A and B are shown apart, each in its own frame.
Chain A
């Protein structure tokens, strides 16, 4: 399979990349790790006339602490996330999730920016970013803006990115010491997209859930924040009844596609189970 013809651009600065993207218009696409876009180009599901490769752009890689936030450059690969001590100590759920994405070769090339900006409902990082309250840095011809992950996703492959804008960094609030976390992903085989997945971060106080946030992957056209489900467990000791209430509240907002990963009812059912498992495992980890 050979992609269609395109012109290749390799800008060295973000200003040049944005200018190219603005000038070339709708037929231009930024290229990050390429592990979603290149397969789609080979299948001719994507036929951009211009590719703007971001690999040579200065300053798009790296993980740094900025106040209470961990800021991750968009071109940081999943492999680099896994190798980062900052991520391992401050955002361990990011590490747990990255380990469940695709396979080693894909993680060497695939980037966090591409994962969150592509708008693919199957990608794992978007729901996690919503769960963690992350914001995205978007740079375009009119300047820089920050957008909450929760406001970014509008439909499958449809985000609030404006023409000419590039997602350049992800900013994630460092989670408090002693927080519990878990990313539960059901997949048909290693490397697959989720049949259903749930992200949980929570804190416990006196044996009860004090704060909780729950995100859902691949259970709708966009990642979902299961707010009612999280409310259902706050103040409880996570007994079976409250776990069940959380799963039911989460299932209410799921609208997965029926596809090779299973019919709708099945995917909602296992989606509820992922929520229960993630809650239990997160609570067991919380101090």
Chain B
């Protein structure tokens, strides 16, 4: 049995703010974000790397923060759902899309969905419906059946690209 490991100092930039803290090596990044930083928008769902509710953006990659240790994120730049809104506090195109298209019901998966979709649209600003579905395959929603989540992301892509949002026929 290992004895209690020494705590390590970590520092990172989260939503543009330099933060630091003392963590045990075994502290998962999601626990550091929720408990040390009190940013509870990032959710803990399955805890087994399936559901994507804990997705955050780390150095330009979508990561399930339940499957990375906080010590591994030392020195990185992280965006959580709390950092997604526009600088003036208004809703980002994605947040507006989820609202307009009813892209959520209970809302539990939404922070992960939006942070994942945020990266997807950075990599592919004009995705097809199929590319959206493939791109959010690591995020589970048990309410919506995904239809309105896909529409919300299409809405956001159209808004960002300055094109007209064409709602798919039922």
Contact = CB atoms under 8 A, between A and B. Distances in A.
Interface string B1-45: 011111010000000000000001110100100000000000000
Given A6-B25, A103-B137, A104-B135, A109 B63 contact: yes
Interface in B90-119: 116
Interface in B68-86: 68-69, 71-72
A8 B2 CA distance: 12
B64 A106 contact: yes
B61 interface: yes
A103 B26 contact: no
B68 A38 contact: yes
Interface stretch (B48-56, B149-157, B162-170): B48-56
B2 A4 contact: yes
A45 to B, nearest CB: 12
Interface string A1-37: 1111111101000000000000000010000001100
A51 interface: yes
A108 B28 contact: no
Given A39-B49, A51-B25, A8 B67 contact: no
Contact of B72 (A41, A42, A53): A53
Contacts of B138: 102-106, 191
A247 to B, nearest CB: 29
Interface residues of A, number: 32
B49 A106 contact: yes
B98 to A, nearest CB: 19
A20 to B, nearest CB: 14
Nearest to A50: B2
A2 B28 contact: yes
Given A79-B61, A104-B135, A105-B64, A38 B47 contact: no
Contacts of A108: 61-63
Interface in A39-97: 39, 41-43, 47, 49, 51, 53, 55, 79
- Which of A8, A27, A34, A39 is packed against the most chain B CB atoms within 10 Å? A8
Contact of B2 (A2, A5, A103): A5
A39 B47 CA distance: 8
Contacts of B28: 2-3, 42
Given A5-B25, A39-B48, 5 more contacts: A34-B68, A38-B69, A103-B137, A105-B55, A109-B61
Interface of B: 2-6, 8, 24-26, 28, 31, 47-50, 52, 55, 61-64, 66-69, 71-72, 116, 120, 134-138
